[in-house]
């Protein structure tokens, strides 16, 4: 249950909601900005770190599947992945907040910053609909699989 909740939190809140706004709105807005090489490299590094984060959450989710399938070694692996995630995120956040977002704001006018905030709000507003659309689609797909199995079985 804890792992299931943690995976949902990491996938939906941390990755979809938080990284989503960073990548889909902020990072996309960097195109055409005359950033220093160092800031450009930092943006690329942060994107790579999001990929690593996603991979770790995938690994965590896999340990849950293994545990449910009766693999007792999955618990120790889940702890290892959780420790890795807990170690990784505070540094990632520090690198973003102090090392990237704050210096980056020099490249944005007050109007651009306000517009971006508006886009963030809109992104968040749509997310709840997306989450439950995906939930319903998942349930329908599961139902279709069950019916198919009943017909062919």
Q: Which residues bind Fe ion (CB under 5 A)?
A: 22, 96
C-beta atoms surrounding 60 within 10 Å: 22
Nearest Cα to Cα of residue 97 among 22, 37, 44, 33: 22
56 or 77, CB closer to Fe ion?
56
Find the shortest distance in angstroms from Cβ 105 to Fe ion. Answer: 15
Closest residue to Fe ion in the complex (CB): 96
For Fe ion, the closer CB: 22 or 42:
22
How far is 82 from 59, CA to CA, in rounded Å?
A: 10
Between 46 and 60, whose beta carbon lies closer to Fe ion? 46
Q: How far is the CB of 97 from Fe ion (least distance, A)?
A: 8
Distance CA 134, CA 149 (A): 22
- Is 45 or 77 the residue whose CB approaches Fe ion more closely? 45
Q: Are 123 and 24 in contact (CB under 8 A)?
A: yes
Q: How far is the CB of 119 from Fe ion (least distance, A)?
A: 16
């Amino acid at each position: 249950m804890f792992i299931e909740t943690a995976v949902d939190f990491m996938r939906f809140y941390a990755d979809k909601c938080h990284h989503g706004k960073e990548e889909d709105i902020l990072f996309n807005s960097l195109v055409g900005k005359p950033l220093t090489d160092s800031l450009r490299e930092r943006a690329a590094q942060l994107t790579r770190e999001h990929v690593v984060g996603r991979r770790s959450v995938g690994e965590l989710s896999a340990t849950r599947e293994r545990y449910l399938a009766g693999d007792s070694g999955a618990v120790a692996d889940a702890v290892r992945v959780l420790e890795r995630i807990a170690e990784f995120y505070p540094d990632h956040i520090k690198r973003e907040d102090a090392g990237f977002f704050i210096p980056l704001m020099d490249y944005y006018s007050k109007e651009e910053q306000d517009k971006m905030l508006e886009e963030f709000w809109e992104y968040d507003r749509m997310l709840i609909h997306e989450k439950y659309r995906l939930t319903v689609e998942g349930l329908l797909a599961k139902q279709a699989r069950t019916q198919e199995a009943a017909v062919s079985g």
